[in-house]
Amino acid sequence: MRVLVVGAGTMGHGIATVCATAGYNVDLVDISEDALDSAKMKIGWSLKKLEEKGGIRNAMEVLQRIRTTTNLVDASKEADFVIEAVVEKTEVKREVFKTLDDNCRPEVVLSTNTSTIPISDIASATKRADKVVGLHFFNPPVLIRFVEIVKSERTSEETLKKTIEFARSIGMDYIVVEKDVPGFVVNRINVRVLSEALRLLEHHKPEEIDAAVKYRVGMPMGVFEVADFSGIDVLCNVMNELGKRGMDLEVPRILREMIKEGRLGMKTGRGFYEYEGFYSRAKISPRFAYRVNPLKLLAPGINEAAWLLRNRVADRDSIDKAMVFGMAYPKGLLEMADDFGIDNVVKALEGKSVDPLLSSMVNEGKLGKKSGEGFYEWKYEKREFGPVLYEKRDNYVVITMNRPEKLNALNEEMWRGLNEAFIQAEKDPDVRAVIITGSGRAFCAGDDIAVMGSWKSFLDGKDFFVNVALPLLNTIANYKKPIISLVNGIAFGGGLELNLAFDIVIASEDATFSVPEGLIGAIPPIAASLGAAVVGRKMMRYCLTGDQMDAEEAKNLGIVDIVVPKDQLEIAGVEFVNKVAKLAPLSAKAIKETARAYRDLLRSVVEKGLHEIIELIPTQDFAEGMRAFVQKRRPCWRGK
């Protein structure tokens, strides 16, 4: 079988390489001998690399299957299957297809690698529209083993079947795009994400946007890295074609200016980044990752995916498969939407036209994992353990302290409820991680002063700590699953101290931390013991003064791992659940087990701290501290 590839540019020579590697004889056609020579050199280099990596046995043997020619007419007469890969301009493609139609045998399938132009527009240049189909490869075809197979209204089932068989024969996975819309699936989504990224450049640097994409979403390349790799001129052509064909899309001024300045990306050494050599990579630091909300970038793409789904251009699984295999997304875009929450996606689209499908999903409570149904169905369970809300969201649990009117202060019911909730999550084999947070404007304001004020004797306090507080602390100390804390506001006293025992602590920018127990005649038992041991000497300042610290200071001390804007707290928690879930379950368990010495330290120092606080209960200072707090006055200490 002889495959004819028309166009020896980046895509054309890559497609020719893929076909020859699969065992086909290939004719590679271009109007320029120089272009063909350059293509043959690049194919040889690519094949040599494949041979070195063990992908093929004999690079020279594969190279010999490829013939180059400038004579399209003669090559057409020998072709058994055609792939057109010329410049993305309708008039040029139509001219090529007219020549193909005049010279190829009647049964030959004529496919086009167009990324944006409707197949019907190209097919209209032929007398065999039923034999014309889209076969959209991704750059570079040698590495990205995926194609979009696009039907026009007149593409026959026989043509579709032959194209699917051919795609499989060259090692390509695929989706079938059922409706011939400009841009098909992947590029319609891509241009929405790119357009939003370009808009965000008004307030952010390219590396800040790309850092969010790479280190939080988990993509191998940032949006602007991909743009530079593809070529700024190519992207402009794509956006122009889509805009001319009905998408509400304009080529941003920044892209037009970059073309005028010759900043076309990797191929010219300058684009959004500067490059040394064609295959060098931009340097993007993880420290920029939390300066941009990744959902702001992805939401327009999710919105476009909803349009594709609602208009039956492709089904849910095909859309997600295309983004995973075609663009190396870590998971499907619609699955990501269910992770983030459909309500959060709609919020991120503020000021934009929201697709009716997304709006209806929010109205129907189909919010994704947080409700059990979104684009997919998920395991979901909701329970209450006293003032503690427990939500199983497929592979993780969210535990919410729910006494907002009391700033989620820790009374007996809260301590017991938290312990029951953590135990329930640990028993569930589906659960890979636990998130804990507070409702309202506080994470947790610490122990309930009303409860502490009711203690009249040493035995009252001892009974509370031994039978109410210690069971939760022991559960956390021996916990086998990762615990992620989302500190959404005030974290005072026990609210701060609990975070010292959690694995990952993420705080919103407006979070406030303090251990003010000494100001009411008590002590912060965990902060003064475990905190000083783990965080260091600086912790003592806050124990001895009761001073408040903001989220950044808490991060500097080591209490907090990451600080995020308030609107990103929930999705940051989801991101870390996804990261943790990538680990083998037994590996995660083993990592927790290796911290046994740390947990033993927690147990011993907490017992020491609790002993000290119990000793304070019968003192006059403790009683005075409780009274002064309730009466909202300064205490008068006696030291007795």
- CA angle, corner 600, sides to 599 and 606, nearest 5? 90
Tokens of 309: 């789904």
13 counts as catalytic: no
Identify the active-site residue in 115, 152, 230, 508.
115
Say which DSSP state 222 is in. Answer: -
Sign of CA pseudo-dihedral 545, 551, 556, 557 = positive
Measure the CA–CA gap between 61 and 287, rounded to whole angstroms.
47
Measure the CA–CA gap between 207 and 225, rounded to whole angstroms.
9
Q: Is 358 helix (H, G, I), strand (E, B) or coil?
A: helix
Q: Which positions ≥6 away from 607 have C-beta within 8 Å? A: none
**Strand ranges across the sheet with 490-492:** 442-444, 490-492, 512-514, 549-550
Which of these, 97, 40, 88, lies nearest to 64 by C-alpha position? 40
Measure the CA–CA gap between 149 and 165, rounded to whole angstroms.
11
DSSP code string of 445-465 = --B-HHHHHT--SHHHHHHHI
Tokens of 136: 């959209």
- DSSP bridge partners of 444: 491
CB contact burial 388-410 (16+ within 10 A = b; e otherwise)? bbbbbbbbbbbbbbbbeebbbbb
- Contact by Cβ (8 Å): 98, 90: no
Q: List the alpha helices (DSSP H) in 311-366.
A: 316-327, 333-340, 342-348, 356-363
- DSSP bridge partners of 514: 492
611 counts as catalytic: no
Which of these, 193, 369, 395, 191, lies nearest to 294 by C-alpha position? 193
Q: Which positions ≥6 away from 430 have C-beta within 8 Å? A: 379, 392, 394, 395
Q: Which positions ≥6 away from 75 have C-beta within 8 Å? A: 4, 27, 29, 69
257 counts as catalytic: no
Cα dist. 233→218, 271, 485 in Å?
A: 27, 10, 45
575 counts as catalytic: no
Measure the CA–CA gap between 554 and 572, rounded to whole angstroms.
18
Tokens of 610: 């609790």
DSSP code string of 549-573 = EEHHHHHHHTS-SEEE-GGGHHHHH
Measure the CA–CA gap between 290 and 286, rounded to whole angstroms.
9
Burial class from Cβ neighbours inside 10 Å (0-12, 13-18, 19+) for residue 361 reads buried
Identify the active-site residue in 88, 148, 196, 570.
148
Identify the active-site residue in 187, 190, 371, 529.
187
Q: Which positions ≥6 away from 135 have C-beta within 8 Å? A: 83, 111, 112, 113, 147, 148, 149, 150, 163, 166, 167
- Give the position of tokens 């008039």: 91
Q: List the alpha helices (DSSP H) in 311-436.
A: 316-327, 333-340, 342-348, 356-363, 412-427
Q: List the alpha helices (DSSP H) in 27-104.
A: 33-52, 59-63, 72-78, 90-103
User: At 522, phi and psi to the nearest 5?
Assistant: -115, -165
Q: Which residues are identified as catalytic?
A: 115, 136, 148, 187
